[in-house]
Amino acid sequence: MVSMSGEVATCKSEATVVTDHFPVGLRVLVVDDDVVCLRIIEQMLRRCKYSVTTCTQAMVALNLLREKRGTFDIVLSDVHMPDMDGFKLLELVGLEMDLPVIMMSGDGRTNLVMRGVQHGACDYLIKPIRDEELKNIWQHVVRKRYNSSKEPECSGSLDDNDRYRRRSDDAECASSVIEGADGVLKPQKKKREAKEDDTEMENDDPSTTKKPRVVWSVELHQQFVSAVNQLGIDKAVPKRILELMNVPGLTRENVASHLQENQKFRLYLKRLSGVVQQQGGLPSTFCGPIEQNSELGSLGRFDIQALAASGQIPPETLTALHAELLGRSTSNLVLPAVEQQNLVQVSLQQAKCIPVDQVMAYGQPLLKCPASISNSKHLSQAILSAEDVHSGFGSQRAKNICMSGPPEVNRSINVQPSCLVLPSQLPGHFQVGDSPASISRAGSLSKSSVIDYGVLSPQSNNSSGVVQVLDRELKPECGLNRLPSGGSLSRSCSINADNSVDLQLHNSSSAFGSSKQLPGLIPSHLGSPVPYCINSSLVLDQGRMKGASIPSRFAVDESDSPMCNFNTAKIYLEETKVKQEPNMNVMENAKVGPAIFQKFQPGDLMSVFSD
Amino acid sequence: MLGLGVERLRADMNRLLALLFHQGVLDEQFLQLQQLQDESSPNFVSEVVNIYFQESEKLLRNLRSLLMDRELSDYKKMGVHLNQFIGSSSSIGAKRVRNVCVAFRVASEQNNRLGCLRALELLEHEYCYLKNKLHELFQIEQQRLLAAAVRYPVQH
């Protein structure tokens, strides 16, 4: 607070720097058996300030991608490789990692490029590759994130639509039908089928005769789902699914493409199954989750999501609804011991929605007690009681669930980012300067990141270290150790944290923070755990520690008046909840946003650090 | 005197490059390669070109042995090699080598053995020419750097 005015500028410039430099550090994996090209592309990418990993063998690349999930943003792959066809790699990466893949080849003949496109390449570069082309590849990363944050809505509604359509179609095609011709297909469907057809074509010679199309009827889909469940969602590979389904005429490609289409759905299932399994103690019967999914699907995905997507519901409301929706059924949740892969992807979404959540959860108390210290006390009490009282638990759990909840939630963020975060919203998706980040910074009771760890920690195996650190530091609440969920643990830590604890955490954070990343990115780290969550566990740890995000709390203490404003705005948002004037609300935020934003200076945070 | 040497060597280099461009041996991709050379990788061009030479010679050997197998030439494999050759040649801006490779690939796709043999000979010729010229270029570059390095104490 001392040198506030000076730091306003710092913060501002920092924020813009972060967004200006967005593609810097984009993590690119280049796979090419031709070392000449590999070296040149590597150098070009370095010139773009991307972080480059090169690899001469497709198999090695694939293993790298599998082992270090989430450590790459984009893949560049050659088409002709001796150990594995580039298209095969493309397909596998698309199926398993859902990363944008750019194909490269010296051979730019149309049929080859077509194959690339059909396999899902987001771009096809013809050698010689020029640096102008590489400068722009970040757009695919952004587009993918942007789309995938929307996609759940799309695919969700598409799924549902399909289901509905299929139901209505059922009269016509009663059971699982393998059609030879597309005459019967409705226009919408036709489009879909065409796509499927394309994906089939790639696997064989395009010149071969038309293959029968598979219509994924309800029954067939159910078979598919039960096969997936039987296998375990993680082990469900097309081949095994096909074996289990045992449907004549169905090919591996059909299953693969269906699986691909249902990737989001699959993630969703995964998460839900984790939740329900833990909650109800159901072993691995997956029917529970499925049912639940369809239930929630209709509610969560369809109606609310659709509204949110159209911008009619402010994200807070959406989150609240989700919390309610999910909280009810899963009040007794123990954090799912989800496997890491799931995690990584989930965490991306979690991270995004946390801030919103945050505002919703803590906004009110903050408003009530403007004085900084009483703020934190009040908060900690509030939360503590929440810990103690079981009913209180419910709401907290609900938040957890909400965070690990349906992927759609992040779509809501799409509605909101532009308003709060001045920098463009795209970069936010990538790494830094995320708009939710700034929200949480603004709302900056933001235990957001801490909560995040909590949620995350059970997921990564070696997260125990972090939790331990937190435990140790937060002795006052050592009773917490008994709490089953890491989430509540760390959360209560952070909430509990008053100044002294904060300082301790600071120490730890400075100890753990990776020196490389700290300087430039601090502001975003505070608010946005996103990049770290995406990364492998190691990076996660860093993210956690750094993200201890205490600094922002200090910032709150120091400048509570704007906070109040902000929260008023937020609460206003909350109260108006439904529809009406979403845009107005958004505008409101936009106005308040900058002012608050400036108050939370990296400098402040830094001074805290130096304290 | 030495300073003049630097200038002269620079002019020599430019003249050679202009010649190679004029002949169509190199294209602007080679310039891009030069632009990629910076403090972090001061020998980038020669490094890449040397890798290219190694790889190309491997490819040429393979192509020749594939073609020499009179009975069953594996044209498909030849195509794979040629694709790589095309990719790497175009990446360093070896335009004429690349063009010959493309012609070679067409011949191999048509299982045209005679065409392949002719193309291979032409390819070897073009490759040798390129290699010699690039070596010449790098030699001048080396001399220029040496001369430039010598100049500083003289100026004192």
Q: Which residue of A has its CA nearest to B86?
A: A106
Closest-CA residue to A45 (of B3, B40, B66) = B40
- Residues of chain B with Cβ-Cβ distance to A34 below 8 Å are 55, 84, 87-88, 91
DSSP string of A450-488, one letter each residue = HHHHHHHTTTSGGGHHHHHHHHHHTGGGGGGGG-S-HHH
Asked if A348 and A264 touch (Cβ cutoff 8 Å), the reply is: no
Indicate whether A149 pLDDT > 90.
Answer: no
Segment A32-69, tens digit of pLDDT:
999 999 999 999 999 999 999 999 999 999 999 999 88
Residue A229 lies in a domain: yes
Looking at mean pLDDT, say which of A2-11, A258-267, A401-410, B118-127 comes out highest. Answer: B118-127
Can you read off the two tokens belonging to residue A222? Answer: 């159910």
**Termini Cα distance of chain B:** 14
Give the domain CATH number at A107. Answer: 3.40.50.2300
Closest-CA residue to A97 (of A147, A144, A30) = A144
Label residue B63 by pLDDT band (50, 70, 90).
very high
**Torsion over CA: A549, A550, A551, A555 (sign):** positive
Q: Are residues A37 and A129 in the same domain?
A: yes
Cβ-nearest to A35 among B40, B55, B80? B55
Total count of domains within chain A: 2
Q: Tell me whether B108 touches chain A (CB under 8 Å).
A: no
Residue A184 lies in a domain: no
Alpha-carbon gap: A128 to the closest alpha carbon of chain B (Å):
4
Contact residues for B42 (Cβ-Cβ < 8 A; gap 6+) = none
Tell me which of A128, A147, A166 is where a domain ends. Answer: A147
Rounded CA-CA distance A420/A434 in Å is 10
Question: Would strands A177-179 and A213-215 be described as parallel, antiparallel, or unpaired?
Answer: antiparallel
What is the ipTM for the molecules in this complex?
0.92
Residue A18 lies in a domain: no
pLDDT of A83 = 87
Label residue A260 by pLDDT band (50, 70, 90).
low
Segment A130-146, tens digit of pLDDT:
888 998 899 999 888 88
Residue A177 corresponds to which amino acid?
V
> Average model confidence (pLDDT) for chain B?
90
Segment A428-467, tens digit of pLDDT:
333 333 333 333 333 333 333 333 333 333 333 333 333 3
Give the number of residues written for chain A. Answer: 611
| Domain range enclosing A259 | 218-272
Segment A471-500, tens digit of pLDDT:
333 333 333 333 333 333 333 333 333 333
Write the DSSP symbol of residue A322.
H
Can you read off the two tokens belonging to residue A25? Answer: 């550090």
**What does residue A3 show for φ and ψ, rounded to 5 degrees?**
-110, 60
* CATH among 3.30.70.1380, 3.90.330.10, 1.20.120.160, 1.50.10.10 for B2-35+44-150: 1.20.120.160
Can you read off the two tokens belonging to residue A574? Answer: 């909350």
Give the domain CATH number at A256. Answer: 1.10.10.60
Looking at mean pLDDT, say which of A85-99, A274-288, B83-97 comes out highest. Answer: B83-97
**What does residue A280 show for φ and ψ, rounded to 5 degrees?**
-85, -5
Looking at mean pLDDT, say which of A180-189, A200-209, B43-52 comes out highest. Answer: B43-52
Alpha-carbon gap: B118 to the closest alpha carbon of chain A (Å):
22
Q: Are residues A113 and A225 in the same domain?
A: no
Rounded CA-CA distance A540/A490 in Å is 15
**Torsion over CA: A216, A222, A223, A228 (sign):** positive
What residues 30-59 of chain B have any CB closer than 8 A to a CB of chain A?
Answer: 32-33, 36, 38, 40-41, 44, 47-48, 51-52, 55
- Residues of chain A with Cβ-Cβ distance to B31 below 8 Å are none
Indicate whether A156 pLDDT > 60.
Answer: no
Rounded CA-CA distance A601/A599 in Å is 6
Q: Are residues A45 and A140 in the same domain?
A: yes
Label residue B2 by pLDDT band (50, 70, 90).
low
- Residues of chain B with Cβ-Cβ distance to A46 below 8 Å are 40
Domain boundaries, chain B: 2-35+44-150
Label residue A335 by pLDDT band (50, 70, 90).
very low
Ranges of H-type helices in A389-430:
390-403, 409-415, 417-420, 425-430
Q: Tell me whether B88 touches chain A (CB under 8 Å).
A: yes
Indicate whether A231 pLDDT > 50.
Answer: yes
Label residue A315 by pLDDT band (50, 70, 90).
very low
Distance of CA A139 to the CA centre of its chain: 18
Rounded CA-CA distance A384/A390 in Å is 11
